[in-house]
Structure 1
């Protein structure tokens, strides 16, 4: 009889999109107000896409287990990054955010999957598309948006803007194309030198993959067996140019040549998580670096100055949204396996929208840093020396 009730309950969930049990949601954890036919499934195992490998006898697993709590957490993080980026788009078009701004919507599974596959004590460095990683590394939405608007409450005190955000064990977005990769190798060298069993994730895009300094970093990392995961986020297009037009070889996971490589479905958070865990184990075992290619997609243009539809069609973007969206994929998996209810996701969405709106209000009302602060945070620990153009004692005045 109980089995029959469970079957009926699950069928009602799929038909109506509602769960019979009433529930409330707090920060992604379900608190059931009452129970009816069945409890939620606490964990489920899913088939995931097999990774292509280079110079490896075996790759990451093809099945991944997801707990209900993990799924709700992953959904909340990815949806928060999505709403935050859409708000940044709006603020930029209102000319409240100025300068450069590279949005991350569509690529959320990469940031969340990487964070789920490493430890908080591990290190991350990326390029200028950095807002998502700033959030997954622990910075609040309001500090990110305030940094975008150049306010004192921003994560870098309003001085870094879109491309230069930092957090604990996060070495920021970096504006020079590909320059963060050798920096990441240096961080990995420090990890090995200290013997702390930590590693560095060094991220770059398909456009930066042709930079010479990346291959120099590969060479040094392989020679010294550095614990570094070099990750190419292949979102199919550089600045207005498809990968096929810019790269003689688009198999970025093989670019390390003598370094092992993995090609991963970057639109599936579980695929990314399992691949990063596999790569992290490889590094911690003293086997040296590994190169990973995450096949992903950005919904916006390369930057806010790029509409993103002059070199690709709107139909192409819509097809990716409808078939491969990372947030929808996770949500559908959980619903089809009775791991959550539609109402839970709706309530979470409402809470996220509220959080982002409040963050935007803070980012537009918080004062800008005073002019006298411009020379602060240039020097560390030691007394500042007199450097032309950077004298900490000089009084600055505005002539605008």
Structure 2
């Protein structure tokens, strides 16, 4: 089976983790925690970074430190992994769903303003599959209405928008290091910001709002969270980060191979890279249009029978039981793209012959036209 997206572990992971085991520094205090934060902030070009136990906790923490609370509204896309929407509910706020762009599959910034009310406190763009939201427009709207912007960059680590890494353009950016992400710590996340006060507040709340007294006792001045990343996972993150530039280039090279092999097949839509952006193509994602000989779901089944793992695009969150009554705009593009989208194998370890096998299945089907 050619997997959809699996981790690449080839560097100093064993060495750094063994050091944690040899020294007993395996929990949330240790040199690798600080190093991972410093190295990650440097890589993305942020002033500071705060490690978290996963990407969802980073999103939750971001909303919390910005003071988003019950009665507030946050504008989010419906076609996304459910984590950012759930995080909005964690703080008692309400998600408001905005439609997406058909070519990039991300939040349509042109449709945000019509959804803003006096309750709106933040915009939460999600850069899915490596694609990038039009952040100039998002920030223009946010500045006009005095709104916060929290970027969910969990799937776009390495993507660049007009010279800046995704996650560093809004007030706060959040990343995930789940096993299928560009770099992994098994589980883990990161919050980045250029605002020192927000960073310090995030670090404080993520460590149970703990103050160490003179007698070494603990005092808690606020309700905090146990969102700390263990040193042993941070050690893996440091090792992974050492190879991130290579991983990015492999992802992009593989996407260009896909593009070349699939460009002449009718009734499929390939991913794009907008001017002044650099798409990391975390997952190589295409649309199976109406004129193609088989449907998206039929293709998934055919691929599986050929030993190829694929995955459909995210099911729109506004169709989930917990979110049926949320306010939203016209989500017709969301509905269409979700029903036609498929993610193809995209591991860093993917070989050209694997890509050729995937594309050959699509080509054979396409010839039935």
TM-score (norm 2): 0.33
Normalising by structure 1, what TM-score?
0.31
Larger radius of gyration: 1
